[in-house]
Structure 1
Amino acid sequence: MTQPTDPRRVLLRAALDAAERGWHVFPLRPGTKRPALHGEAACPRTGPCTAGHRKWEQRATTDPELIRATWARAPYNVGIATGPSALVVVDLDMPKDNSSSDTPDGATTFGALCERAGHPVPATYRTRTASGGEHLYFTTPTGVRLANTAGTIGKLVDTRAWGGYVVAAGSITPAGPYEAVGGPVAASLPAWLLSILKPAPKPAQTPSGPVTAQSRRYADVALANETRNVTGAQVGERATRLFRAARALGRFVAWGDLPRHVVEQALQGAGEAVGLTAAECRSTLRSALNWSIAHNQRGRKAA
């Protein structure tokens, strides 16, 4: 007669497998996606927190002995701290139950983005999530530090990097398991995707105070330069250049230096001139401008 599998042993193996890949793991509450480690308010200031509270990202580890000791206490699910693991994980989510029936899922949106960029969907280690979505794992270049994003790439497409974590394959929730379904290793983050995820460049000096003739001239020059960058794009980099141009110019819209419709009209024309469809341009511009405007609302001094 087959003996039932010990969940604690299965989850320990999942944690050790992730650690063997160099991924830093920490415990999640059994059956959930929430960290099992104490919060700052409940910190005893002992053990690893003797010198001050250490959050889950700081306590995530690849030490097999520490992992064995932790998972011996309970059948914890496994969290992977993406930043310390030098990972960027693209989270392709499923539409919510109350979404329109024709709402594309994250995988469809990401596939369309790859096609616009002139590249296939990257082959890499990936997992199927409990909700039916996917996590695509990529390694980050040395010296590159990326933050989490939510909707920057597209609807239902988020990323987890520094400050974020994902649930590892082998973990189980009431909604279902997390399962490895892709390649055996995490591929390097593609350069075209890195260019989208990198923060928009900021000017070396930005004037404070009310809009002046000088700041408007600066914005006009930036608009001309970014439009020229898009019209000079080669096949395979057109969508990326359009996205980056909109991200760079969105701050001038937020600051009142440029009307949004002027930016949209100039970049829409540039994108269509190099072969992107009108719909592709509108979708890219809407996403990039919305993000940039929202992140520059606090004004020039905070930008």
Structure 2
Amino acid sequence: MATIDRHPARHPRQASTLALAHALSAAERGLAVIPLSRTKLPALRSPHSPDDPPCHGTCGRFGHGVYDASADPARVRALFAAAPWATGYGIACGLPPYHLIGVDLDTKSGTDSTAALRELALRHLFTIPPTVVVLTPSGGRHLWLTGPPDVVVPNSAGRLAPGIDIRGAGGYLVGPGSRTTHGTYTAAPGTAGFTPAPCPHALLRLLLPPPRTTGPSGSATGSAAGTAHGRGLVQFVLAAHEGQRNTRLFWAACRAYENGIGPALTDELTAAAVHTGLTEHEARSTIASAARMTRPLG
């Protein structure tokens, strides 16, 4: 693992070569990666103007952030060739095979995020298993965990506890060996050879958005009319492509249950999922999983 270099700008060509090497090593493990600049942001700018509709990479060009992420060595090399100034790499969360969830224990907030996580673990009766831990230049830590393939964990900052950020679907983690303006990200001693461990179930439930309360009529308090919201969720499922059908269905089912319309929308969501190619059994299992995950903690 690379040692800390407080002045990565002194060797830009070497930093780029090392970043590519680390990224290819991560890709060999099945992790989808993108090149990052010294500021930890995606190194490739968007090819679109602000007025263009979002395409999430369907145009075939680079510059779509985590939507560019790949574990294919040829594509990784092409990404870094397009960004020769890259000094690091990001690892996309929420993608197969690991469905990575990053727990970012920050030190810049003035709080003891490690103690906050320990308190949560005691209160909710879970233990963080041995897993990959990445040390940040500022003294923080990134814990790598894996989630179920049908669970969509959103990104959040400080929602779980002060100083604890979560990197989920649509987010990325800075990979070990990446060089930034503040130093180098490194694997914690003894964890580099680990495989990301499964996220404890009790913690996973905490990472999902809290369910909304419902009024006397059964509709979600403060939400749009159930029928209009339900139609939007069904359309969201119908728009799924192969490889994202379960993920979209789970997300839509979670939103339905959070808004108090889950049971009423189950049949329509199931039919939409079957239309995209899932079996009825797969669809109902995913919806049942969403119902369990969004159930209020006792």
In structure 2, the CA distance between the partners of 1:11 and 1:52, relative to structure 1 (3 Å rule), is closer
Aligned match of 2:180? 173
Q: In structure 2, what is the Cα distance between the partners aligned to 1:11 and 1:178?
A: 11
Asked if 1:105 is matched to 2:112, the reply is: yes
State which of 15, 20, 31 in structure 1 corresponds to 2:23: 15
CA positional deviation for 1:54: 6.7
Q: CA deviation at 1:186?
A: 0.3
Give me the identity figure in percent: 35
Query: What is the alpha-carbon distance in structure 2 between the residues aligned to residue 207 and residue 157 of structure 1?
Result: 29
Distance verdict in 2 for CA 1:198–1:205, change over 3 Å: same
Residues 1:176 and 1:54: Cα distance change in structure 2 (over 3 Å): closer
The CA deviation at 1:51 is: 6.5
| Contact map agreement 1:25 1:60 (CA 8 A) in 2 | yes
Equivalent residues of 2:145, 2:199 under 8 A apart: yes
Distance 1:122 1:25 in 2: 24
Q: Could you report, residue by residue, the CA deviation over 1:93-135 in whole angstroms, capped at 9, with x for unpaired residues?
A: 0034xx4xxxx32122112221233333432111001211000
Structure 2 residues without counterparts, runs of 5 or longer: 1-10, 223-258, 260-298
Alignment match, 1:143: 150
Cα distance in 1 between the residues matched to 2:178 and 2:42: 13
Aligned-residue CA RMSD (Å): 3.2
2:92–2:171 CA contact under 8 A, matched in 1: yes
Deviations 1:199-246 (A, max 9, x none): 23345941678xxxxxxxxxxxxxxxxxxxxxxxxxxxxxxxxxxxxx
* 2:121 aligned residue (114, 121, 124): 114
Structure of higher CA gyration radius: 1
1:94 aligns with 2:107: yes
Rounded to whole Å, the distance in 2 between the matches of 1:51 and 1:69 is 13
Instruction: Tell me by how many angstroms 1:75 deviates.
Output: 4.6
Give 3-state SS (helix, strand or coil) of 1:6's partner: helix
List 4+ stretches of structure 1 deviating above 6 A.
51-54
Any idea what the Cα deviations from partners look like across 1:162-206, whole Å, max 9, x if unmatched? Answer: 121111111011211100115311001110101111223345941
- Checking the alignment, whether the CA contact within 8 Å between 2:93 and 2:172 is kept in structure 1 is yes
| Aligned 1:270-289 pairs, distance under 5 A | none
Cα distance, 1:9 vs. partner?
2.5
Query: Matches of residues 256-271 of structure 1 in structure 2 within 5 Å?
Result: none
1:50 aligns to what? 59
- Confirm whether residue 81 of structure 1 aligns to residue 88 of structure 2: no
Q: CA, structure 1 residues 156+168, in 2 after alignment: closer, same or farther (shift >3 Å)? A: same
Written as runs of structure 1 = structure 2, the 5 A alignment for 1:223-234 is: none
Query: Offset at 1:68?
Result: 1.8
- Provide the rounded CA distance (Å) in 2 between the counterparts of 1:118 and 1:83: 24
Instruction: For 1:9 and 1:207, locate their aligned partners in 2 and report how far apart those are by CA, in whole Å.
Output: 53
Query: What is the CA–CA distance in structure 2 between the aligned matches of 1:201 and 1:154, rounded to whole Å?
Result: 18
Cα distance in structure 2, aligned partners of 1:154 and 1:146: 16
1:70 maps to: 79
Residue 43 of structure 2 aligns to a residue whose secondary structure is coil
Deviation at 1:6, TM superposition (A): 2.8
Residue 208 to residue 83, structure 1, CA distance change in 2 (3 Å): closer
Hey, what's the Cα distance between the residues in 2 that align with 1:91 and 1:118? 20
Matching residue's letter, 1:80: I
CA contact (8 A) 2:66 2:170 kept: yes
| TM-score, normalising length: structure 2 | 0.59
Question: Please, which runs of 5 or more residues in structure 1 have no aligned partner?
Answer: 210-250, 252-303
Supply the distance in 1 between the matched residues of 2:221 and 2:70 (Cα, whole angstroms).
44
Deviations 1:32-73 (A, max 9, x none): 201112223278x9xx65378972122111110121233245
Tell me which residue corresponds to 2:159: 152
DSSP 3-state at the match of 1:152: strand
CA contact (8 A) 1:78 1:167 kept: yes
Normalised to the residue count of structure 1, the TM-score between the two structures is 0.58
CA contact (8 A) 2:113 2:164 kept: yes
SS at match of 1:142: coil
